[in-house]
Amino acid sequence: KAGVTQTPRYLIKTRGQQVTLSCSPISGHRSVSWYQQTPGQGLQFLFEYFSETQRNKGNFPGRFSGRQFSNSRSEMNVSTLELGDSALYLCASSFGASGLSTDTQYFGPGTRLTVL
């Protein structure tokens, strides 16, 4: 079974631009979560989608948004990029709905975003 895939793997943008990242979950998984990983802050939860609905949201500004499609694929958008948005953005999928805290999340390889 194929793992979680993320595209693109690397992105370079300039301040003020916007960016869209894509995540395809493991086949059969319906929950997709997004995380931002930086050396200073570690892994921080962005949001989680299940059945095209955002179920949970972390403490990030409204510039960060996402959506999920009927095939469970998810996209994350960051508008008006800032230097501090440079990070590795990780997507994770799991089978069940939010609230199933016992579910294992499986992570993709990430998208490395650099903002200049």
Partner 1 sequence: AQSVAQPEDQVNVAEGNPLTVKCTYSVSGNPYLFWYVQYPNRGLQFLLKYITGDNLVKGSYGFEAEFNKSQTSFHLKKPSALVSDSALYFCAVRSSGGSYIPTFGRGTSLIVHP
Give the footprint of partner 1 on this chain (CB under 8 A): 4, 6, 42-43, 45, 48, 55-56, 58, 90, 92, 98-102, 104-110, 112
Q: Under a CB-based contact definition with an 8 Å cutoff, are residues 44 and 90 in contact?
A: no
Q: Under a CB-based contact definition with an 8 Å cutoff, are residues 101 and 40 in contact?
A: no
Distance in Å, CB of 80 to partner 1, minimum? 25
Which residue lies nearer to partner 1 by CB, 30 or 45? Answer: 45
Distance in Å, CB of 18 to partner 1, minimum? 24
Which residue lies nearer to partner 1 by CB, 57 or 79? Answer: 57
Which residue lies nearer to partner 1 by CB, 79 or 98? Answer: 98
Distance in Å, CB of 116 to partner 1, minimum? 20
Which residue lies nearer to partner 1 by CB, 66 or 108? Answer: 108
Coil, helix or strand for 84?
Answer: helix
Distance in Å, CB of 16 to partner 1, minimum? 27
